Amino acid sequence: MNADEHEPVAVIDPGPDKVIGPGHDYDTVTEKIAGVVYRPMSRTPIQMFVGFGIAFVLVNLFLVAVSWLFYRGVGVWGITIPIAWGFAIVNFVWWIGIGHAGTLISAILLLLKQDWRTSINRFSEAMTLFAVACAAMFPILHLGRPWLFYWLLPYPNQMWLWPQPRSPLIWDVFAVSTYGTVSFIFWFTGLIPDFASMRDLRPNTFVGKIWGLLAMGWRGSARHWARYQKAYLLLAGLSTPLVVSVHSVVSFDFAVANLPGWHTTIFPPYFVAGAIYSGFAMVLTLAIPVRRWYHLEDLITTRHIECMAKVMLGTGLIVAYGYAMEAFIAWYSVNEYERYAFYNRVMPQPGTYWWTYWLLILCNIAIPQLLWSRRVRLHTWAVFAIALVVNVGMWLERFVIVVTSLTRDFLPSSWGMYWPTIWDWATYVGTLGVFLALMFLFIRGVPAISIFEMREVVHEEEPEHAHGD
């Protein structure tokens, strides 16, 4: 039987117990995943065009906002003294947190041998990559003279000035650049065998040659696979502590400072949990519509959604514990300023941001408790709605941490308020556009699900179906 003449496999979501729909063999998973990329433009789901169109408009908004920022300086934003860290840092922490789920799924779940990791790992790694790209822009945009960003790097210069490696801000430079680089090579390494599959599906064509260039001559030799798996495992092992270190370092930006509301030892674990929480929310936000548009319910099954919902619930509870500890320590420390910082966050009073705190409790703690119910977890669109709420909640959390702590520090004479301007919003919404546009291009342009790992799933899950002919 010619491989090109397959009857398409019916798209059946096998429910919460299986990671792949019935009837798949090595060839059908290859065809199906590669088919998303090889599908002609005319058969690409309309939602993809609409989504990309909206994202593209936002990319242009971002370009306008950044051009205006470069022209006029950071004064176009609402930042003032004492609130010098406004949206830029809120967004930086939010975006980098989102990235963490990708690394968690691809590295930690690989080490834990979780079967529901495959089929969402490639997708979340790409999400990590684009989220880190969005995150990394913010500290640079926030520099007064962003064109001098390379001063952050240790390089020999004629003034013989060197960065200060005792400062968490310089740790950040190393952590984020390492994280971005490692995420990229992890993602690219995973793609090499799939590039070879894509190449062999379209031999002797122009696009086949491009895939061939990217595949670098991969031919699936058993020796190559042995080294490949070893390297991949080592990457996973190295990425696992890396992902924990990155958000810990980000939290040091706050925790090492003396400011009440920032100077807290619980920040590193609480930030890491929050990062994974928001990241899983973002994976769900993206995966649920995409699996629907491209009819991938047999590859990204209810089991994947349910497992991610459980991780969200678990990390959400760790975050809740973090909030509780902040409150407890504010009281237990008997420190006037700590207590006031907490009081200022939660007590309804005019001219403060108390409502953002309660909104955050609603989004991050109250609503996600619905996920205890199996019925909610199995209802895909309910999970989608909760994921959106958590995305908002985690953004509010960073707002509360960054802004409310800065508005009222030790001296009432130096208190102030922060109101974002239209350019703050334009930059933030603009990066959402950049992120989504890149995600849309990724889904259309490269296999968004790891093909060779799906073949392994077929081999394990469906031995009777594995061999099509």
Partner 1 sequence: MPTETRVAGQLANLYGLMAEFATPEELLAAAERTRDEGFRRMDAYTPMPIEGLAEAIGFRRTVVQQIVFVAGLLGATGGFMLCWWMTVIAYPHNVAGRPLNSWPAYVPITFESMVLIACLSAVIGMLALNGMPQPYHPVFNVPEFLRASRDRFFLCIEAADPRFDLEGTREFLESLKPLEVMEVEK
Q: Which residues bind partner 1 (CB under 8 A)?
A: 3, 25-27, 30, 154, 160-166, 168, 170-171, 174-175, 177-178, 181-182, 185-186, 188-189, 193, 196-197, 199-201, 203, 212, 216-231, 234-235, 238-239, 241-242, 245, 249, 252, 452-453, 455-456, 459, 466-469
40: helix, coil or strand?
coil
Structure tokens at 353: 């941001």
In the bound state with partner 1, the residue whose beta carbon lies nearer, of 57 and 231, is 231
In the bound state with partner 1, the residue whose beta carbon lies nearer, of 170 and 376, is 170
In the bound state with partner 1, the residue whose beta carbon lies nearer, of 79 and 176, is 176
Structure tokens at 356: 């953002």
Give residue 123's Cα distance to chain centre. Answer: 10
In the bound state with partner 1, the residue whose beta carbon lies nearer, of 75 and 165, is 165
Q: Which of 82, 103, 261 is nearest to 190 (CA)?
A: 103
In the bound state with partner 1, the residue whose beta carbon lies nearer, of 145 and 227, is 227
Min dist. Cβ of residue 25 to partner 1 (A): 7
Pair 312, 281: CB distance under 8 Å: yes
Rg over alpha carbons for the chain, rounded to the nearest Å, is 24
C-alpha distances (whole Å) from 156 to each of 150, 151, 163, 397 are 11, 10, 11, 39
Min dist. Cβ of residue 362 to partner 1 (A): 35
Min dist. Cβ of residue 132 to partner 1 (A): 14
Min dist. Cβ of residue 323 to partner 1 (A): 26
In the bound state with partner 1, the residue whose beta carbon lies nearer, of 107 and 282, is 107
Min dist. Cβ of residue 456 to partner 1 (A): 5
Give residue 229's Cα distance to chain centre. Answer: 25
Q: Which of 371, 456, 451, 381 is nearest to 123 (CA)?
A: 451
C-alpha distances (whole Å) from 454 to each of 44, 117, 232, 301, 449 are 23, 10, 16, 13, 8
- Measured distance CA(457)–CA(461) in Å, rounded: 6
Min dist. Cβ of residue 161 to partner 1 (A): 7
